[in-house]
Amino acid sequence: MAGENPRVVVITGASSGIGAALARRLASAGVRLVLAARRAEALRAVCGEIGGECRMVVADVTRRSDVEHLRDEALAAFGSVDVWVNNAGRGINAAVLELTDEQFDLMMAVNVKSALYGMQAIVPHFKQRGRGHLINVSSFLGRVPLATYRSAYNAAKAALNALTANLRMDLRREFPGIHVSLVMPGMVTTEFARSALGGTPAVTWASGGGPGPRVQTADEVAAVMEELIAFPREEVYTQQGQSEAVVRYMQDVGGFERGFGA
């Protein structure tokens, strides 16, 4: 990962979970980091723990001005950005017919618009340089609706998947040095479940049974993302078997859903 100059990586949602785990891994490899989150104390603790060249920017990434400020702070600190990771997100516990306007709008703001702001903030810089790597952290649930209680979260991640693919296609021909990647974790042991609106039910799979998924640690997901930064790809699932499940779902949606009692 190291070249003539250490890479500069910006990570949103970096005060805990996957973002913090990725920061720890990259710091140990000598990467220069700009970490963003709303919680100043938690963010300061992460930066203090990893040491090295780490800058923290307190930001609410649902605000375009905060995301642009994050970009400006990163450029002021290091002169350039090599990798930008849109990792911030939040879940919800509400079925489709129970969703309120406020819940739906919040899920879209946190999980889609924040990433859109990040894309629009950093990609012009990548174009100027002729290279760069944008990574959007989505979810396996954006492809296969196995946890229907996540409803609007799943819908938001599906929208993020589409935006990511469209941006990649827009850039592919004229800017081959700019990589656009989508990361799709499954269930991860982070604060995400505890901070989800309405909590998280004890059942963590679609109603009606079926084998429960293996729960990954944040560091396991971060290890996949570290490899992705070293060897860019368009999409990566963080657990074995997820891509095969997506193929089975697309080939026979009804059969797949009936198999889980949907």
Record the tokens describing residue 111, joined without a space.
């999980």
User: What does the pLDDT read at residue 199?
Assistant: 52
pLDDT over 90 at 34, yes or no: yes
pLDDT over 80 at 190, yes or no: no
Average pLDDT over residues 125-154: 94
- Determine if residue 96 is left, alpha or beta; phi over 0 gives left, psi from -120 to 50 gives alpha, anything else beta: alpha
Exposed (0-12), middle (13-18) or buried (19+): which is 17, by Cβ within 10 Å?
A: buried
Looking at per-residue pLDDT, the higher value among 202 and 158 belongs to 158
Record the tokens describing residue 6, joined without a space.
């250490």
Average pLDDT over residues 44-68: 95
pLDDT over 90 at 78, yes or no: yes
User: What does the pLDDT read at residue 157?
Assistant: 96
pLDDT (tens digit per residue) in 102-127: 999 999 999 999 999 999 999 999 99
Average pLDDT over residues 203-216: 51
Q: DSSP assignment, residue 111? A: I
Record the tokens describing residue 160, joined without a space.
């993020």
User: What does the pLDDT read at residue 59?
Assistant: 97
pLDDT (tens digit per residue) in 172-186: 999 999 999 999 998
Percent of the chain with pLDDT over 70: 88
Residue 95, SS3? coil
User: What does the pLDDT read at residue 201?
Assistant: 53
CA distances 29 to 49, 137, 156, 186, 256, Å, are 15, 21, 33, 26, 42
* Domains along the chain with CATH numbers: 8-259 (3.40.50.720)
pLDDT over 50 at 245, yes or no: yes
pLDDT over 90 at 171, yes or no: yes
User: What does the pLDDT read at residue 207?
Assistant: 36
Rounded CA separation 193/170 (Å)? 34
pLDDT (tens digit per residue) in 12-21: 999 999 999 9
∠ at Cα 147 (257, 221), nearest 5°?
115
Among 117-121, 162-166, 252-256, the least confident range:
252-256
Residues labelled catalytic:
153
Rounded CA separation 13/232 (Å)? 21
C-alpha closest to that of 235 among 156, 138, 116: 138
